Amino acid sequence: MSILLLPPILALFTIILIYIYFKRQYSSSPNDPPGQKPQIIFGNIFNSGLLTGRKTGPELFTAYQQEYGDVFLFWAGSHKCLVFCLPEHAQTIFSDRHTFDQSPLFIPNFDLLCPNGIITLSGAKWKRHARVMLPMFKRAKIVHYLETILHCTDQFIDKHLDDNHTYTDLTLRCQSLLMNIIAFIAFDHDLEAQIDSSCARALQDFIYYAGQFMMTAWLPRWLGKLYLKLNWKYQRAHRVLRELSEQIVEQEQNKHNDSESQRPKNLIASLVSSLNEQANDEQISSGLTQAEIFDEVLMAITAGTETTATALSWFMFYMSKHPRVQQRIKQELKEHDLAMGDNAHSSLLNLETLDSLVYCDCVTKEVLRLAPVAGITARRATRDTVVDGVPIHRGQDLYVALYNMNKDPRYWHHGDPNEFIPERFLFEDKNHHPYAMVTFGGGHRACLGQDLAQFELKLMIARLMQRGVSFEDTPENIGGCKQQVTCRPRHLVVRVRIDHN
């Protein structure tokens, strides 16, 4: 009888041990900041509404800050993360590059999709990739693409925007525009990426699964790998983008072989010129391997398309809600003798005139401040330290709540910081705290394409208004956020008007 009871007793004992282990794993220490009680396996991803889509990251962290204060605890699965919400916190964390490096929780499991993309790297490998890529994203390089961006925007207006038509898919159309722009300026490659093209669909699918994987920090990595391997839709998207990447690299290699003495003029030229199959992380200047180049092309297409396309779609949403802002932008263009309507020529909108458009610059900043494109960024401590009296241990993950800082009434004083008011950058908020608005992160791991994104966005805004495009509100245009890699407008339904006079 006793022998028969032994197996169930052992099973019960094992279950109790497993329960105790997980209980200890998901327990906070007495010195930890406050936060919502975690669930085993899920942490706070499920009970917060993040996994179910009830809340996006920016919405959740805003609610948590109101409930728990400026520093609180958030469990991303089994990862116990500290969340910091003040500009002073961001300044301390971003300025200490020797203590805080990129955390894999910034985009969890994204390395399963793009293992050699610069956004997923850290340490010596990141330095090796950054040495090749960063010079191509400096403003001095970017401004030379003004005519290309204008040309693509004109094509977007002519092909994708009809007068007096209501659109429900403007976010996807914005993706098509930005995909074309990044292909031209980074790769000297004409994708002709229409809404229904295979490249555009593949990019949409790839971004969708990247967004899905942001919510899977609680899952075992082997399960994520198996899911991707068996998912035919993802495999098709990856194959199309991989073939595109190989095509772009091959095209540039042929050019490179014909003119090896020329200095790289764009990103793909810099990548190809750095090709070195013996590249390793022991030598920072040793270039990139073929596999790394392919992944960086894919990363550039994805990041260069998704973030700015999302910001542009938010601009369209805010303009539909604030027609006076549209009129003021157009009035500023008129004051600078910039033609409107179909006869507007790119030569009239040059770098000098773009820099003189002060109000347009305010609108660009207000879109980036208020739109939750990238609501958070993540860092991992490389050694023990303290931030605002909170002890941080080596290997600890932490989040900086960028969106919270962008709307904090203690740092934004012109009107309601939750309202879209571009004029704030002309008055009290012109000289805001330098870390009260860091939409693209900060420090050595800030977004390397931030200058390009801001330049693109302002130029596209000016061009749309110059061509007489207006965005009108509809009853279905109720906004809200949809979490993918970035936070898009959930319900963007606007009517487009085009003034041909």
3-state SS record for 11-78: HHHHHHHHHHHHHHHCCCCCCCCCECCCECCCECCCCCCCCCCCCCHHHHHHHHHHHHCCEEEEEECC
What is the CA 87 to chain-centroid distance, rounded?
20
- Dist CA 288 CA 151 (whole Å): 32
Cα 465 to Cα 222, 341, 422, 426, distances in angstroms: 49, 9, 16, 20
What does R_g of the chain's alpha carbons equal in angstroms?
A: 24
Query: Angle 356-448-140 (CA atoms, 0-180°, nearest 5)?
Result: 45
Per the domain annotation, does 16 fall within a domain?
no
Q: What is the dihedral of CA 30, 395, 68, 71, to 10 degrees?
A: 110
pLDDT in tens, 151-190: 999 999 998 999 999 999 999 899 889 988 998 898 888 7
Of 462, 185, 471, residue with least CA distance to 346: 462
Residue 48 lies in domain: 28-498
Our separate counts of H helices and E strands in the chain read: 17, 12
Does 12 fall in a domain? no
What are the tokens at 351?
């770098």
SS3 392: strand
pLDDT digits (tens, 9 = 90+) for 383-397: 999 999 999 999 999
Q: Is the pLDDT of residue 371 over 80?
A: yes
Asked, for residue 17, whether it belongs to a domain, the answer is no
Residues 415-451: tens digit of each pLDDT: 899 999 999 999 989 999 999 999 888 888 888 889 9
Residues in CB range of 379: below 8 A, 6 or more apart: 93, 100, 101, 102, 103, 397, 398, 400, 445
In this predicted structure, what is the pLDDT of residue 174? 92
* CB 42 within 8 Å of CB 182: no
What values do phi and psi take at 167, rounded to 5? -115, 140
- Tally of structural domains, the chain: 1
Q: What is the mean pLDDT of the chain?
A: 86
Q: At what angle do helices 232-258 and 198-213 cross, to 10 degrees?
A: 120
Q: Annotated binding residue at 447?
A: yes
The segment with the largest mean pLDDT, out of 298-307, 366-375, 403-412, is: 403-412
Residue 20 lies in a domain: no
Residue 244 lies in a domain: yes
Determine the pLDDT at residue 256.
67
pLDDT band at 138 (very low <50, low <70, confident <90, very high): confident
Whether the per-residue pLDDT at 116 is higher than 70: the answer is yes
Residue 21 lies in a domain: no
Task: Determine, yes or no, domain membership for 352.
Answer: yes
In this structure, is residue 2 part of a structural domain?
no
The token pair that represents 424 in the structure block:
């704030």
What pLDDT is stored for residue 501 in this prediction? 63
What is the reported pLDDT for 31?
79
For the question of whether the overall pTM of this predicted structure is more than 0.85, the answer is yes
**CATH number assigned to the domain comprising residue 155:** 1.10.630.10
- Measured between alpha carbons, how far is 139 from 476 in angstroms, rounded to an integer? 39
